[in-house]
Structure 1
Amino acid sequence: MSPLSLDLSPDLFPALTEAQADPDGPGAHRPALRFGDRSLTYGELAATASPLAARVAEAGRIAVWATPTLETAVAVVAALLAGVPAVPLNPKSGESELGHIVSDSAPTLVLAAQGTQLPSALAALERLAIDIDTSAPATSLPSPGTSDPETPALIVYTSGTTGPPKGAVIPRRAIATTLDALADAWQWTGDDVLVHGLPLFHVHGLILGILGPLRRGGSVRHLGRFETAGVARELSEGATMLFGVPTMYHRIAETLPDDPALAKALARARLLVSGSAALPVHDHERIAQATGRRVIERYGMTETLMNTSVRADGEPRAGTVGVPLPGVELRLTEEDGTTAVEAYDGETVGEIQVRGPNLFTEYLNRPEATAAAFTEDGWFRTGDMAVRDPDGYVRIVGRKATDLIKSGGYKIGAGEIENALLEHPGVREAAVTGEPDADLGERIVAWIVPADPQSPPTVDELADHVARRLAPHKRPRVVHHLDALPRNDMGKIMKRALTHD
């Protein structure tokens, strides 16, 4: 592993500064952002973002209506140039959720593309239309409002599965260190061209997918909306990296047998990265078989940005999220939250705790929630359960609240059972939960979307299938057949919505 030099200067985008300093130089003409048929070079991005940054420099906090457009990228870059915290808003959020976020974060402005219809929850905010005019005369890039790396850069709201969404305050330090650590792990340079079709209101799509290429001096091509044809086109036309979530890679795996052009394009990619949820091993193997390339996984969350990844120069092993990134400390703990799990046996389950410069500062206006999220010695409690293989690779087996099943004296992670179920030819999608059992404590319940709804696999068939691959105590005792699994915008299965009623 190469040594990592972390740049904690206020300049998050050196290539943008260089383009501004030499508007006729080659750096200014390098492509930076492309959304469909609209694009900006680094020189054009500087000319567009700098006057916007000057306009918001005294605004306090600003909200950004985070559609998957060029305007969103420009707005966030402008906020970061000005040193003003930005609050990305999910355009699919309901009125009550938007109302809570606006009330909680108290932005003074909302930035949106011209002509955008905004919901009534934002009516009280002053609106600033984003005008992308590359013909405007260039102005100097503003100096960030502070040189303090702890200054808030983004306030990103969590999904709020256990109450109203909480605003995670992400400092400039966390963005810089995470992106530099990923550059080390992925050998990410300014020569890379990233393609993705993720939303821009969360960490994966915005920080990794937009700010990541800009920090490296490379470029990003956003599809606007994910389509396998778009992936094939961009990777065939010079893109080197693809970021996606498991639902996207599942669609790719389903499409590959009948689309040789897609297989050829994926084979040309330098790096295929999946995140935000576990990618089923079955999809890993189908993609690898069709393309000769393996998808690598990384692990992060809103509060920590990125924690681990399979390295570009490491073994791309399916079902793992690799090793801790440079600068990140990771430990597994027992249920008491303090006793360390020392085993590297691939079997002993513990909760992941992390600490390092990648962490958020606080939950906005929630000091009690912030305090509860950390141990006394400064480790962040992720709530994710994992095991460690002998070589240090981390394998996540589920969430502590929904995926840790205690059955017959065993601690079982739902994730490995889900992977086993997906290897059955009669299973298209699978989720596993636990429910109370008088004898076992909890029994394992499988929620299945069958490949053939007219002939779904039986509980005995699936129980035998899992028992052969894992262990008898990990077999499902109950099976429910569904038309589809409930998922959020990122493709994560919402297990709390899986009920017997």
Structure 2
Amino acid sequence: MSSLFPALTDSPADSPAERPALRFGERSLTYAELAAAAGALAGRVREAGRVAVWATPTLETAVGVVAALLAGVPAVPLNPKSGDGELGHIVRDSAPALVLTAPGTELPPALSGLERVDIDVRERAPYAPAESPGSAPAGITAESPALVVYTSGTTGPPKGAVIPRRAIATTLDALADAWQWTGDDVLVHGLPLFHVHGLILGILGPLRRGGSVRHLGRFTAEGVAHELNEGATMLFGVPTMYHRLAEALPDDPALAKALGRARLLVSGSAALPVHDHERIAAATGRRVVERYGMTETLMNTSVRADGEPRAGTVGVPLPGVELRLVEEDGTAITAYDGETVGEIQVRGPNLFTEYLNRPDATAAAFTGDGWFRTGDMAVRDADGYVRIVGRKATDLIKSGGYKIGAGEIENALLEHPAVREAAVTGEPDDDLGERVVAWIVPTDPQSPPAADDLADHVARRLAPHKRPRTVRFLDTLPRNDMGKIMKRALKHD
């Protein structure tokens, strides 16, 4: 296969050697500097077999991952916020030969048995790339593992999804087609670097295009505005980030002006509420584009830059990706009417290879004809747009003979002026099978909305059978590092 990073490995005449590649705060590397630092490190890890990367939001993490990919060595990004138990499981499961980290970093006891290699981002040793111009390292093919990214482990110990080089290349190229993404784009983001969104899309994506990325280190509205005012063209974020931007916009016309300068605003990792879509569009004149992916599949769908920016949807399948909705018995749904709920299954070159050391889980994840069972529930419009209504395990509510997606009820609740945050779950009901439960963070904690008012609000917007039968008020909703609501932490009485 061709090089993952042509700007680093092709001949100098064809590469943007002095163009900025990476910037984290005040620290930056040009393409020439990145090639030298990553190339020198690649030479040190080439025989390692597999390496762990202590994935702090720093230049060192980016250089470490790029070096591993240049060397043809699979990298295992480690979440610095993980506890010793989870880290110990990942290290035992993935068996890396060493851990790459920034100098001076104090690593936890779970990593004490690994050889430590400090990353020198200013190393200027002669660069002899493992990747020759236009090609992958010797013996490395499109199917060779590039990354082992561990899932969140909501139903047991985290599983290591083995992501081949083929999946990274095809996903990033499909997104380039969908988003008209070029080497002239400058991306700003403040996402963690231990998962697909922040690392593959946010760091490897710009490097594959020959563009630039500016990482904020920590997300702030001020940081976003500054970078967009300084020439950044794209912003990647998660719904929590865009919600904070939406909240800040009414009192910050400078932020609205900065966001209005962006060529593309992209949200992912969870559904962005329609209410936040509308507030951002009204204040900035820019629509947020949503895409849909997961660790095992990288990216599956997106609203296209040249398509209709339809709030509440994740767009259409990316080039090369096949997508279908199926009933519980596996029967494919053929009526795309925007109402019939089915599980999303996908097939294509964007998929992972296997769960590391888990042939049982790998086999269970695929159908007999090669479709990956995502566990996500959705409806599809006649023109192919996909609207996700929740996870099969936590967001599909069967009530009174209806299949109800929690996501659409949450969007409706968030349109109520007295609701700041909302989550919807199902709980057992003797009559209905399951009843709809709304978990609400009120706008004014001293004056929460009446339960009947919220139920009527949903019934008017959706349908009477989708109204919440029980409403519970909270000070805050439990969320993970990506801002996703952890519904399993919501305890029923």
Among 245, 266, 274, the alignment partner of 1:273 is: 266
- Would you say 1:101 and 2:90 are equivalent positions? yes
Question: What pairs up with 1:105-120 in 2 under 5 angstroms?
Answer: 105-120=94-109
Among 475, 483, 491, the alignment partner of 1:483 is: 475
Among 184, 191, 214, the alignment partner of 2:184 is: 191
- Would you say 1:332 and 2:321 are equivalent positions? no
User: Following the alignment from structure 2 to structure 1, what is the Cα–Cα distance between the partners of residues 456 and 293?
Assistant: 34
Contact 1:27 1:42 in 2 (8 A): yes
Q: Which amino acid aligns with 1:194?
A: L
User: Following the alignment from structure 2 to structure 1, what is the Cα–Cα distance between the partners of residues 410 and 433?
Assistant: 20
Structure 1 SS opposite 2:122? coil
- Would you say 1:464 and 2:438 are equivalent positions? no
In the TM superposition, residue 398 of structure 1 has moved relative to its aligned partner by 0.2
* Equivalence for 1:256: 249
Contact 2:7 2:15 in 1 (8 A): no
In the comparison of the two structures, how many residue pairs are matched? Answer: 488
Unaligned 5+ residue runs, structure 1?
A: 1-7
* Equivalence for 1:12: 4
* Equivalence for 2:316: 323
* Equivalence for 1:446: 438
Contact 2:320 2:348 in 1 (8 A): yes
Structure 2 SS opposite 1:372? helix
Unaligned 5+ residue runs, structure 2?
A: 132-136
* Equivalence for 1:287: 280
User: Following the alignment from structure 1 to structure 2, what is the Cα–Cα distance between the partners of residues 183 and 147?
Assistant: 24
User: Following the alignment from structure 1 to structure 2, what is the Cα–Cα distance between the partners of residues 391 and 478?
Assistant: 36
* Equivalence for 1:5: none
User: 1:269-326 deviations in whole A, cap 9, x for unaligned?
Assistant: 0000000000000000000000000001000000000000000000001000000000
Structure 1 SS opposite 2:338? coil
In the TM superposition, residue 137 of structure 1 has moved relative to its aligned partner by 4.0
Contact 1:33 1:219 in 2 (8 A): yes
* Equivalence for 2:167: 174
Contact 1:84 1:145 in 2 (8 A): no
- Would you say 1:27 and 2:27 are equivalent positions? no
* Equivalence for 1:3: none
Q: Which amino acid aligns with 2:204?
A: L
Among 342, 345, 351, the alignment partner of 2:334 is: 342
* Equivalence for 1:223: 216
User: 1:334-375 deviations in whole A, cap 9, x for unaligned?
Assistant: 001x20011111100000000000000000000000000000
User: 1:474-496 deviations in whole A, cap 9, x for unaligned?
Assistant: 00000000000000000000000
Q: Which amino acid aligns with 1:278?
A: A
Instruction: Return 438-447 or 145-154, whichever deviates more.
Output: 145-154
* Equivalence for 2:52: 63
Contact 1:57 1:145 in 2 (8 A): no
User: Following the alignment from structure 2 to structure 1, what is the Cα–Cα distance between the partners of residues 209 and 279?
Assistant: 32
Contact 1:50 1:139 in 2 (8 A): yes
- Would you say 1:83 and 2:72 are equivalent positions? yes
Q: Which amino acid aligns with 1:142?
A: A
In the TM superposition, residue 146 of structure 1 has moved relative to its aligned partner by 2.6
* Equivalence for 2:113: 124
What stretches of structure 1 move > 2 A for 4+ residues in a row? none
In the TM superposition, residue 145 of structure 1 has moved relative to its aligned partner by 4.3
Contact 1:443 1:476 in 2 (8 A): yes
Contact 1:46 1:138 in 2 (8 A): no
- Would you say 1:150 and 2:138 are equivalent positions? no
* Equivalence for 2:126: 138
* Equivalence for 1:407: 399
Contact 2:340 2:379 in 1 (8 A): yes
User: Following the alignment from structure 2 to structure 1, what is the Cα–Cα distance between the partners of residues 140 and 490?
Assistant: 47
Structure 1 SS opposite 2:17? helix
User: Following the alignment from structure 2 to structure 1, what is the Cα–Cα distance between the partners of residues 410 and 213?
Assistant: 33
User: 1:84-138 deviations in whole A, cap 9, x for unaligned?
Assistant: 000000000000000000000000100000000000000000000001115x243
Q: Which amino acid aligns with 1:433?
A: T
In the TM superposition, residue 142 of structure 1 has moved relative to its aligned partner by 1.7
- Would you say 1:300 and 2:293 are equivalent positions? yes
Contact 2:6 2:15 in 1 (8 A): no
- Would you say 1:41 and 2:30 are equivalent positions? yes
- Would you say 1:213 and 2:202 are equivalent positions? no
User: Following the alignment from structure 1 to structure 2, what is the Cα–Cα distance between the partners of residues 403 and 145?
Assistant: 46
Q: Which amino acid aligns with 2:195?
A: H
Task: State TM-score, norm by structure 1.
Answer: 0.96
Change (3 A) 1:145 1:201: farther
User: Following the alignment from structure 1 to structure 2, what is the Cα–Cα distance between the partners of residues 454 and 180?
Assistant: 50
Contact 1:199 1:205 in 2 (8 A): yes
Q: Which amino acid aligns with 1:255?
A: A
- Would you say 1:238 and 2:241 are equivalent positions? no
User: 1:39-98 deviations in whole A, cap 9, x for unaligned?
Assistant: 000000001110100000000000000000000000000000000000000000000000
User: Following the alignment from structure 1 to structure 2, what is the Cα–Cα distance between the partners of residues 445 and 256?
Assistant: 31
User: Following the alignment from structure 2 to structure 1, what is the Cα–Cα distance between the partners of residues 417 and 183?
Assistant: 42
* Equivalence for 2:353: 361
Q: Which amino acid aligns with 2:45?
A: V
User: Following the alignment from structure 1 to structure 2, what is the Cα–Cα distance between the partners of residues 500 and 373?
Assistant: 30
Contact 1:414 1:432 in 2 (8 A): yes
User: 1:438-468 deviations in whole A, cap 9, x for unaligned?
Assistant: 1111000000000000110111010000001
User: 1:170-205 deviations in whole A, cap 9, x for unaligned?
Assistant: 000000000000000000000000000000000000
